[in-house]
């Protein structure tokens, strides 16, 4: 859905990339450490627009699992060097404008008690927009938290971004056989 939004807003560009944030707590010591190691790795999505959505999703999932499996690699310097060599990006500027995290944690509360999860930004954004998607409970409801830099995102553009992403997610569930360009046209 996010790939579609970024592609649509760049004249159906097929060269789309986001940062995939990995917060790994692989063992009990890491879980109890009072913090976690968070890495944002590039998730390239260079897919032709005639590719089926379900095939693109499978490709993205495989790439994300590879990133997750190698979370111990300190790749920040490697990424910056590759960006500079491949795209000529200036220091501290990235090729990706957005980072996404999906947190599958579901709040377990007694029946009848509602919960709302809130995330708080650190104030140290290095990207134009961070999107955190969290499962609220076993109902299937999702909470979308956008942490965007004011210089890069207006309230209206954030609203439009959310509308496209939620519309695209619903369309993907209803018809995973559609092509990426059809998803862009929503």
> Token pair 């076993």 is at which residue?
138
pLDDT of residue 54: 95
Mean pLDDT of 20-25: 64
Q: Does an H or E element contain 54, and which?
A: helix 53-69
> Token pair 């004249």 is at which residue?
11
Mean pLDDT of 95-113: 68
135 φ, ψ to 5°? -75, 130
* Tens-digit pLDDT profile for residues 65-93: 777 666 565 555 666 677 677 777 665 45
Residues 6+ apart with CB under 8 A from 6: 13, 16, 18, 97, 98
Q: pTM of the predicted model, to two decimals?
A: 0.70
Question: For the chain, what is the mean pLDDT?
Answer: 76
């Amino acid at each position: 859905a996010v790939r579609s939004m970024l592609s649509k807003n760049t004249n159906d560009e097929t060269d789309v990339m986001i940062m995939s944030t990995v917060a790994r707590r692989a063992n009990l010591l890491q879980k109890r450490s009072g913090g976690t190691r968070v890495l944002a790795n590039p998730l390239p999505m260079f897919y032709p627009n005639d590719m089926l959505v379900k095939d693109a999703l499978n490709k993205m999932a495989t790439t994300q699992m590879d990133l997750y499996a190698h979370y111990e690699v300190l790749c920040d310097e490697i990424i910056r060097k590759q960006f500079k060599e491949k795209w000529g990006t200036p220091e501290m500027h990235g090729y990706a404008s957005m980072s996404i995290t999906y947190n599958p944690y579901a709040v377990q509360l007694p029946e009848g008690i509602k919960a709302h999860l809130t995330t708080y930004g650190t104030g140290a954004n290095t990207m134009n927009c961070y999107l955190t998607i969290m499962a609220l409970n076993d109902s299937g409801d999702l909470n979308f938290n956008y942490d965007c830099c004011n210089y890069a995102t207006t309230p209206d553009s954030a609203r439009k971004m959310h509308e496209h992403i939620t519309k695209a997610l619903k369309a993907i569930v209803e018809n995973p056989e559609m092509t990426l360009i059809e998803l862009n046209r929503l």
